[in-house]
Structure 1
Amino acid sequence: MKKTFRPGMACAVVAMTMAPVAIAQTTAKVERVAPVAAGDIPSTFTPVRDGFDYVKREVMIPMRDGVKLHTVIVVPKGATHAPMMLDRTPYSASKLTKRGEGGPLLAQILFPAYAELAQHGYIIVAQDVRGKYGSGGDYVMNRPVRGSLNPTKVDHSTDAYDTIAWLVKNVHESNGRVGTIGTSYDGFTALMSLVDPNPALKASVPMNPMVDVWKGDDWFHNGAFRQEMMSYVYGQTAKKDSGEDWFALHYDDYDTFMHAGSAGAFGASMGMQQLPFWKRLSQHPAYDAFWQGQAVDTILAKAPLTVPTLLVDSQWDQEDIYGAPSVWRALKGKPGDDNLHLVLGPWYHGEENSDGSKLGALDWGSDTGKWFRQNVMIPFLDAHLKDGAPAADTARVTAYVTGTNEWARLPDWPVADATTPLYLAAGGTLALDHAPTSGAAFDEYISDPAKPVTYRERPNQAPYVKGSTWHSWLVDDQRFAAARPDVLVYTSAPLDKPLHIAGRPRADLFASTSGTDSDWVVKLIDVYPDIVPDKPEMGGYQLAVSMDILRGRYRDDAANPTAIPAGKVVEYKLPLTDIDHVFLPGHRLMVQVQSSWFPLYDRNPQTFVPNIFFAQPSDYHAATQRVFHAPGQASAVYLPVQP
């Protein structure tokens, strides 16, 4: 019988005919897969690091009280008998040993100073201080030494001691010698390692250390509160990982703090009453036993210095300009001071760790940071930490002379005492050496807390926000302030020869106020010639080389404030900041005097109140300020002129 096909029938027949074969083939290829019984992350994983020039290890080091501190150890590949440099930080040991995305090279994970040390054969050790990031225990801001302010059995000195003991025993690539190093807070912990030091501690490099936070470092300057540091307090103490964001209510901190009123009111608006350290800070506005007991220079002066120490100071340090020179002054002439060395560089806070070629509008013409590290720091450390290294020819003091822009080796610091008077004279002039004998007895201005003098041109961005140039404000052109009616300006004639100052200038003001409290700000300034041919933008530039603030209530006794007698001439003595600088021929000297420096410092209400942190709006009053230059009341800035 003949079959009749419909469209598509052939395909169907073929498919039916082939189906058993296809099924058989498919079945033959199927593999049995075990069910997923666990996660995809192995219990241990060892990464391959053959192309890396370092080995990194993370450990938890036990302290004497059982608390364990998170520590990162970076060992250069192939290192043996290597010295160790220890940095104890509240800013994350993990971040300190991983820059950006990291990478296989030391220079990719460490900032320049530490990368250079590691490339030179040093093991880098970074440790989270207790209570921060990966470490156990409680965090206390600038934890005091054991005693009346710290009833526990541990402090930064014991933690450093115990850490060094563990490292010497457990890091098999080391030679058993350890140095401590660090900048800012880490400079403070480096100094604390010198208190009852571990015998294996053979050298220390404290850079820009926090030393006395009431007299001249982070929290106060001579009693005036540095309210721009409130964001730092908030960030450091609100959370263990410093992860609580600080949100200012305005782009310009001038507006932020003016809107709030007092620093205490602003703190309350940000919820800072929840922070124990903020409460302690705001409850101790005077230099009482709380601050005196934490002054590291005083603590170190109680015993001989047994560890070779290289103190590093930045001459335009916007945060801890007081610390290193104060330790130098406290220890020199004491037993063990042959172990003490000082470096003064032309840097902002911590700039010595990276490229030090420029600072704001200033160009030094070479990388001063690298010069310091290669010619001073590394040879100093090698001499004390490396096996068989030659003795270092480390100068007693190494200072960068700004103006002439050159390094100098000095036998001591200061080179000169502040004994040469620069008198404030009538008509806005300055008289070097001789007191004014004629002219008006005083100059005056109105200081109004409702319109305070800013510390830099507005807008005043918060220090640590993106785009802020906080690091360079100390070298800002001061013409913005000189133009204000509430700033007194005194200027010399152009110099016909260089004037070299090397030390710590001191202001001696004879002044009166119509109020009962007052701040006094004094700036010593180098005024550039009107025309600078090779750098036209520097024509007339007003470069502050040394300046500071004094809260008048502490003029007689820093621990016991008293009201200023209204309308009475009072003498105020204000040490300025250390500087090694040459005023060049054709330049002029300038002194500016004002009574506010806002919002860096909180406003003085100019009415005596028990605690300025909590001044009320009704306490703020304008006052008439007078600066005298009459016989017997000759205001002056005393200069340390190098012979």
Structure 2
Amino acid sequence: MRDGIKLHTIVYSPKDASTTTTYPFLMQRTCYSIAPYGEGKFAGQIGPNKFLMRDKYIFVYQDVRGRYMSEGTWTNMTPQIANKTKSSEVDESSDAYDTIDWLVKNVPNNNGRIGQWGISYPGFYTVAGALSQHPALKASSPQAPVSDFFFEDFHHNGAYTQGYFLTFPVFGIQHDKPTTDNWWLPGLIQANTKDGYQFNLDLGPLKNFDKYYKDNFFWQEHEEHPNYDEFWKKRSIVPHLKNVKHAVMTVGGWFDAEDLYGPLTVYKTLEKNNPGTYNTLVMGPFGHGRWSQETGHTLHSNVYFGDSVATFYQREIETKFFQHFLKGAGDGKTGLPDAYLFNTGKKSWETFNKWPAANAEKKMLYFHANGKLTFEAPKEAKSVSEYVSDPLKPVPYLEDNTETMGFTPFNYMSEDQRFAARRTDVLVFQTEPLSEDITLGGEIMAKLKISTTGSDADFFVKLVDVYPGEEPNHAYMPNKNVTLSNYHQMVRSEIMRARFRNSFEKPEPLTPNKVTDINFRLQDVLHTFKKGHRIQIQVQSTAFPLFDRNPQRYIPNIYLANEKDFIKATHRVYHQMDLTSGLEISILK
């Protein structure tokens, strides 16, 4: 690199490459190891998919700074430096530039074109690489890209994603020299239980994680930066997505429990800031990164979406994208739409010439007394629903406790929500059975009028598709104890920490018993609620241990809260003529 640091890189080149048979590069930069290391040791599959591997490219894998066999110091979400003027100023885009430059000049029999891809954290490195502006870079595909750790992965709207508690050794322990070993393994928590709900509840307040992570620099950064301050802001790649001239295809999964914010935000920001650039979005019926491996029968949790969906994506979308820009005309006439999106209700792919779609109409779904949900505004002069939220008995975020000890959450994004609907600390509003199909396509906003007896609160809002009683099970049910009769499929959810209602930088307590607006975005959907189904919205204040528990007494730094700070509180959601609550949705006509 330009500052003298060496990054360990493995290059797989086709055997028939020659001066007359040249190939483009496809590169992935990662913090997760590019093993197997050593001459003569080969990965079982290389490249984004088997079709591209068969087509032959020069595949490049690189450990980023401070990870595995590369030199340098590791930092999470390396801050992007705008307008670099000194050779000592380095970031991930400069490392991508220097790598591309070296490859084009030193690897024989290349055609002078390079593409890049990466899923999850490597998706972040792909986005940063897209900012390098190297003339040889022709195509980038950030997939489930991390873009801002305050709004995805480790936080959602500032609420800490406690479901990630096992991952901190991976991201918060340095190693003193290049290594092929997983040096962070000794730092993993030995919980001696498969019940993550009970483990996290018994642990108590977040400060007690110091028992495991007092020397973990990433955990300490969380404790020291509870708000969206400069530490987190400078680690966001989103403000830098400008002056991108080459082709970009951003990919995500509608049920990605880790990085759903990233692909939608990266695509929309690139679209806004770079008019005229080839910029496309692909969203499939997948959990995190699952489009990269074919499973045959495509399921997420208990929901079946069809067969060979990942293969369709790989062959008909991803392969065509890279072939066109790295081997073909490269003029943008790929035959692919601006947005290739899977409708998770109809269970089929749909194409759009822009996203959000031009034919989307915004409408409100209003809460009413007795759990009713309609498109009509309430007419009652006084109407309110309330529940008692007890942080010592939080609502589980899913019914299957074995998944709560997973490395990261996964299935809950489409899980059956009946267990929550039947609790007294969860509000439920639902429509009558639909008389016709309704397709929600685009952005969603929760708009709540609330009050509370406490001085802080969280609001977790879920959009749910309630199946009819006669719904049959499909042939591939993963859990034989689950029935799709009256299944409550989660379509989308998000949490909002009330202290951040006006500013993520400057939190404010709630005034007890004062009616207050809580407005926040749920991520986009493309989902048809079919005739006979119901649209349901659930509102609750805990989803544990997916998210940490709000003490409900305002504490400036929740990471430092004590046991005594956690109190019961009564939360009220208003649904009357002058105080309406509900969900603003986009309906495709």
Shared fold by TM > 0.5? yes
Match of 1:292 among 212, 233, 245: 233
Q: Deviations over 1:38-77 (max 9, x none)?
A: xxxxxxxxxxxxxxxxxxxxxxxxx111111111112233
Per the TM alignment, residue 148 of structure 1 is displaced from its structure 2 partner at its CA by 12
User: Which runs of structure 2 are paired with 1:313-462 in the superposition (5 Å)?
Assistant: 313-355=252-294, 357-386=298-327, 388=329, 391-415=333-357, 419-432=362-375, 434-438=376-380, 441-462=383-404
2:477 corresponds in structure 1 to none
- Measure, in 1, the Cα distance between the counterparts of 2:38 and 2:492: 35
Q: Could you tell me which runs of 5 or more consecutive residues in structure 2 were left unpaired when the two chains were aligned.
A: 176-181, 475-481
1:254 corresponds in structure 2 to 197
Asked if the contact 1:328–1:342 (Cα under 8 Å) also holds between the matched residues in 2, the reply is yes
2:493 corresponds in structure 1 to 547
Asked if the contact 1:149–1:290 (Cα under 8 Å) also holds between the matched residues in 2, the reply is no
2:478 corresponds in structure 1 to none
Q: Deviations over 1:343-385 (max 9, x none)?
A: 1111111011112622221212222211111111111111111
Give, as a single letter, the amino acid of the residue that structure 1 aligns with 2:10: V
Residues 1:223 and 2:158 aligned together: yes
Per the TM alignment, residue 387 of structure 1 is displaced from its structure 2 partner at its CA by 5.0
Q: Bigger CA drift: 133-142 or 146-155?
A: 146-155
Asked if the contact 1:426–1:440 (Cα under 8 Å) also holds between the matched residues in 2, the reply is no
Q: Bigger CA drift: 610-619 or 367-376?
A: 367-376
- Measure, in 2, the Cα distance between the counterparts of 1:200 and 1:478: 49
Q: Bigger CA drift: 471-480 or 611-620?
A: 471-480
Residues 1:85 and 2:32 aligned together: no
Distance change >3 Å, CA 639–CA 541, structure 1 → 2: same
Asked if the contact 2:82–2:240 (Cα under 8 Å) also holds between the matched residues in 1, the reply is no
Residues 1:153 and 2:92 aligned together: no
Where relative contact order (Cα < 8 A, 6+ residues apart) is larger, the structure is 2
What is the TM-score normalised by the length of structure 1? 0.84
Give, as a single letter, the amino acid of the residue that structure 2 aligns with 1:537: T
Match of 1:273 among 204, 214, 227: 214
SS in 2 for 1:456: coil
- Measure, in 2, the Cα distance between the counterparts of 1:196 and 1:479: 48
Q: Bigger CA drift: 145-154 or 492-501?
A: 145-154
1:73 corresponds in structure 2 to 11
Distance change >3 Å, CA 329–CA 556, structure 1 → 2: same
SS in 2 for 1:504: strand
1:620 corresponds in structure 2 to 566
2:50 corresponds in structure 1 to 115
SS in 2 for 1:234: helix
Per the TM alignment, residue 408 of structure 1 is displaced from its structure 2 partner at its CA by 1.2
- Measure, in 2, the Cα distance between the counterparts of 1:610 and 1:135: 39
Give, as a single letter, the amino acid of the residue that structure 2 aligns with 1:424: F
- Measure, in 2, the Cα distance between the counterparts of 1:295 and 1:238: 21
Asked if the contact 1:346–1:402 (Cα under 8 Å) also holds between the matched residues in 2, the reply is yes
Q: Deviations over 1:167-199 (max 9, x none)?
A: 111221321211110000000000001223211
Asked if the contact 2:339–2:351 (Cα under 8 Å) also holds between the matched residues in 1, the reply is yes
Distance change >3 Å, CA 233–CA 407, structure 1 → 2: same
Q: Deviations over 1:380-419 (max 9, x none)?
A: 1111111557841121111111211111110111125572
- Measure, in 2, the Cα distance between the counterparts of 1:188 and 1:96: 23
Per the TM alignment, residue 229 of structure 1 is displaced from its structure 2 partner at its CA by 1.6
Per the TM alignment, residue 276 of structure 1 is displaced from its structure 2 partner at its CA by 2.1
- Measure, in 1, the Cα distance between the counterparts of 2:284 and 2:32: 24
Give, as a single letter, the amino acid of the residue that structure 2 aligns with 1:431: T
Match of 1:566 among 480, 488, 512: 512
Match of 1:168 among 104, 128, 141: 104
Per the TM alignment, residue 546 of structure 1 is displaced from its structure 2 partner at its CA by 1.2
Count of paired positions? 566
SS in 1 for 2:221: helix
Residues 1:486 and 2:393 aligned together: no
Distance change >3 Å, CA 102–CA 496, structure 1 → 2: farther
Per the TM alignment, residue 250 of structure 1 is displaced from its structure 2 partner at its CA by 3.2
- Measure, in 2, the Cα distance between the counterparts of 1:150 and 1:284: 29
Q: Could you tell me which runs of 5 or more consecutive residues in structure 1 were left unpaired when the two chains were aligned.
A: 1-62
- Measure, in 2, the Cα distance between the counterparts of 1:555 and 1:493: 32
Asked if the contact 1:253–1:599 (Cα under 8 Å) also holds between the matched residues in 2, the reply is yes
- Measure, in 2, the Cα distance between the counterparts of 1:491 and 1:504: 20
Asked if the contact 1:418–1:638 (Cα under 8 Å) also holds between the matched residues in 2, the reply is no
Asked if the contact 1:478–1:542 (Cα under 8 Å) also holds between the matched residues in 2, the reply is yes
1:639 corresponds in structure 2 to 585
Distance change >3 Å, CA 462–CA 456, structure 1 → 2: closer
User: Which runs of structure 2 are paired with 1:507-522 in the superposition (5 Å)?
Assistant: 507-522=446-461
Asked if the contact 1:530–1:540 (Cα under 8 Å) also holds between the matched residues in 2, the reply is yes
Asked if the contact 1:114–1:124 (Cα under 8 Å) also holds between the matched residues in 2, the reply is no
Asked if the contact 1:183–1:350 (Cα under 8 Å) also holds between the matched residues in 2, the reply is yes
Per the TM alignment, residue 533 of structure 1 is displaced from its structure 2 partner at its CA by 3.5
- Measure, in 1, the Cα distance between the counterparts of 2:168 and 2:290: 22
Give, as a single letter, the amino acid of the residue that structure 2 aligns with 1:449: P
Distance change >3 Å, CA 150–CA 442, structure 1 → 2: farther
Q: Deviations over 1:278-328 (max 9, x none)?
A: 22222111112222222212111xx32212100112111110110011122
SS in 1 for 2:433: coil
Distance change >3 Å, CA 502–CA 480, structure 1 → 2: same
Give, as a single letter, the amino acid of the residue that structure 2 aligns with 1:429: K
- Measure, in 2, the Cα distance between the counterparts of 1:340 and 1:519: 36
Per the TM alignment, residue 445 of structure 1 is displaced from its structure 2 partner at its CA by 0.6
2:137 corresponds in structure 1 to 201
Q: Bigger CA drift: 434-443 or 387-396?
A: 387-396
Per the TM alignment, residue 166 of structure 1 is displaced from its structure 2 partner at its CA by 1.1
Asked if the contact 2:245–2:277 (Cα under 8 Å) also holds between the matched residues in 1, the reply is no
- Measure, in 2, the Cα distance between the counterparts of 1:96 and 1:387: 32
Distance change >3 Å, CA 554–CA 149, structure 1 → 2: farther
Per the TM alignment, residue 223 of structure 1 is displaced from its structure 2 partner at its CA by 1.2
Give, as a single letter, the amino acid of the residue that structure 2 aligns with 1:247: Q
Asked if the contact 2:473–2:484 (Cα under 8 Å) also holds between the matched residues in 1, the reply is no
Per the TM alignment, residue 331 of structure 1 is displaced from its structure 2 partner at its CA by 2.5
Give, as a single letter, the amino acid of the residue that structure 1 aligns with 2:99: T
Give, as a single letter, the amino acid of the residue that structure 1 aligns with 2:219: W
Tell me which stretches of 4 or more aligned residues in structure 1 moved more than 6 Å: 147-151
Give, as a single letter, the amino acid of the residue that structure 2 aligns with 1:485: T
- Measure, in 2, the Cα distance between the counterparts of 1:84 and 1:205: 13
Q: Bigger CA drift: 351-360 or 397-406?
A: 351-360
1:56 corresponds in structure 2 to none
Per the TM alignment, residue 566 of structure 1 is displaced from its structure 2 partner at its CA by 0.3
Per the TM alignment, residue 338 of structure 1 is displaced from its structure 2 partner at its CA by 2.9
Residues 1:595 and 2:530 aligned together: no
Per the TM alignment, residue 205 of structure 1 is displaced from its structure 2 partner at its CA by 0.2
What is the TM-score normalised by the length of structure 2? 0.91
